[in-house]
Amino acid sequence: MDYSAKVMDHFSDPRNMGSIENCDGVGEVGNAKCGDIMKIFLKVEEDRIVDVKFQTFGCGAAIASSSMATELIKGKTLKEAWQLSNKAVAEALDGLPPIKMHCSMLAEEAIHEAINDYLRKKGLEPWTE
């Protein structure tokens, strides 16, 4: 697979890898076909993501997408994090092979799941768009 140097950098040296004990929100999503599974943990303070970690079972693109996505939402408000698109993740990685674009989609979905988990725990309505 022909990956950019940035994908390889985030794959070989993933940022924010791990889990957060007593996290405020957690989102786990999977792609049934290729088997990739991504889990995002959030620590939220005053509507802002102060810490984020990930665990990923998947290919180089899936791991790099998780790492980059967590970098992009760290320190952001929940609303800003919600707006992170899979395209933005892929662009930040200097592109992904077309067959691997679903990996960046997985990152977007995992972040949405984690945010909604946080909202539900707070007794708030989950966001849909």
Partner 1 sequence: MTVENRTIYMDNSATTPVRKEVVEEMLPYLTENFGNPSSIYDPGKVSKRAIEEARKKVASAIGAEENEIYFTSGGTESDNWAVKGAAFANTNKGKHIITSSIEHHAVLYACKWLEGQGFEITYLPVDKYGMVSPEDLRNAIRDDTILISLMLANNEIGTIQPVEEIGRIAREKRICFHTDAVQAIGHVPIDVKKMNIDLLSLSGHKFGGPKGCGALYIRKGTKIESLLHGGAQERKRRAGTENVPAIVGLGKAIELAIDELEEENKTLLEMRERLIEGLLKIPKTHLNGHPTERLANNVNVTFEYIEGESLLLLLNAKGIFASTGSACNSTSLEPSHVLTACGVPHEIVHGSLRLSLGRMNTPEEVERVLEVLPEIVQKLRNMSPLTPREYRTL
Annotated catalytic residue within 40, 62, 92, 103: 103
Of the pair 18, 123, the CB lying nearest partner 1 is at 18
Instruction: Confirm whether 34 is a catalytic residue.
Output: yes
Terminal Cα distance for the chain, rounded: 33
| C-alpha distances in Å from residue 114, one per residue of 4, 6, 53, 119 | 28, 25, 11, 9
Q: Which of 6, 9, 43, 60 binds partner 1 (CB under 8 A)?
A: 60
Of the pair 41, 118, the CB lying nearest partner 1 is at 41
Cα–Cα distance for residue pair 14/7, rounded to 1 Å: 10
Of the pair 55, 77, the CB lying nearest partner 1 is at 55
Burial letters 63-73, b for 16+ CB under 10 A, else e: bbbbbbbbbbb
Instruction: Confirm whether 59 is a catalytic residue.
Output: no
Cα–Cα distance for residue pair 110/112, rounded to 1 Å: 5
Annotated catalytic residue within 20, 34, 59, 101: 34
Q: Is residue 55 near partner 1 by the rule CB under 8 A?
A: yes
Cα–Cα distance for residue pair 84/1, rounded to 1 Å: 25
Q: Is residue 33 near partner 1 by the rule CB under 8 A?
A: yes
Site for partner 1 in 85-114 (CB under 8 A): 99, 102
The answer to whether residues 56 and 98 touch, using CB atoms and an 8 Å cutoff, is no
Residues annotated catalytic, as ranges: 34, 103
Q: What residues line the site for partner 1 (CB under 8 A)?
A: 1, 8, 11-12, 14, 17-18, 28, 31, 33-39, 55-63, 99, 102
